[in-house]
Amino acid sequence: MKLKHVIAALWLVCSAVLAQEPKTEPVQAEAQQQAAPAAAVQENKEINASQNKAAAPQDSAAQNHAQAPAALNNAPSLGTKAPQAALSDDADIGGWIDSFLYEVKITDVLVALFSGLLVIGMVLQARRMRETVKATMETAQAADKTARAAEDALVAGQRAFMFIKEFKTFLHFDAVSGQYRWSIHPVWENSGNTPTRGLSINTTYRLLDEPLPKDYAFPNSREDLIPTIAGPKAMVEAVPGAISAEDLAAVQQGSKHFYIWGWAEYHDIFEGTKKHTTRFCNQLMQVVGDPMAAINEHNMVQMLFGFHSENNYAD
């Protein structure tokens, strides 16, 4: 059965129920009218019985003979309620059937069908609209996600990125003391394709009797802070440090430990990005040559640096 048939049947049943309601009161009135004569007959019988008690004994036989036909006559009147009620029920059934068959117009059925089809169409249209809106939102979210991914890839590939490239060392001779010393120059490089903004570089040098302990705090000194800029693929030198020949020899022998640490903070040129930080810590791992001897072609002193196990990261 299709939906339109169900709607038409519901409409017809409602019409039949509405047609049946006005017949209720006449049926009740008719039942009351039929019950009234029977009540009157019963009342007359009670009056006659009271009068007959006051009469002579000889009249009792005649009175009883007269009451018998009366009772026989009254019996059918008392038994007429059931057939009459059955007839009224049949009349009710026939009434709403007639209303169902003759009073419901074809235009009412067509209006019900049209209303049902209109409701179904509206439901289907609303469902399609929800599906369209959902698909549009998903498409917009996917496009936004793709745009953000493309922007992140652009920023990651083009932004400035600072890191320690190398440590340059230069030998210096003090004519007054007759001693040699070396200066150390950390070199930073911007490997990105765009320049930095607000670049600051800090460098700390420490000669210690013991190796750095685990979880060392690496204090920063703002005295040697250098505000500068690094262009694309450009290199920038930090504040240099120095170490004497005696200290260099002590490091070579393992009685001293020489460390360099620091950081670079900067912004890239892209709006809405956070400040970037690169931290480093390097240790003088090996000294080649004799720092206390004269420097010549047979005694070329070299310093080799390596990364310490902590304080090395970049974002």
Q: Which one, of 51, 103, 40, lies nearest residue 77 by Cα?
A: 40
Which of 9-23, 133-147, 210-224, 252-266 is predicted with the least confidence, judged by mean pLDDT? 9-23
Q: What's the whole-number average pLDDT of the chain?
A: 77
The pTM of the full predicted model, rounded to 2 decimals, is: 0.56
- For the beta carbon of residue 286, count every other beta carbon within 10 angstroms: 11
pLDDT tens column, 27-69: 444 545 554 444 454 555 555 555 555 444 444 444 444 444 4
pLDDT tens column, 220-256: 766 667 889 999 999 999 999 999 999 999 999 999 9
Q: Which one, of 218, 221, 198, lies nearest residue 276 by Cα?
A: 198
- The predicted pLDDT at position 36 comes to 45
* Residue 280, φ and ψ in degrees, nearest 5: -145, 160
Write the DSSP assignment of 59-127 as a string of letters: HHHHHHHHHHHHHHHHHHHHTTHHHHHHHHHHHHHHHHHHIIIIIS-HHHHHHHHHHHHHHHHHHHHHH
Q: What percent of the chain has pLDDT over 70?
A: 65
DSSP β-ladder status, 276-288 and 241-244: unpaired
Q: Which residue has the tokens 């003088």?
A: 284
Q: Rounded to an integer, what distance in angstroms lies between the CA atom of residue 245 and that of residue 180?
A: 6
Helices 24-54 and 81-98 meet at what angle, rounded to 10? 170
Q: What percent of the chain has pLDDT over 90?
A: 44
- For the beta carbon of residue 202, count every other beta carbon within 10 angstroms: 19
Cα-trace Rg, the chain? 58
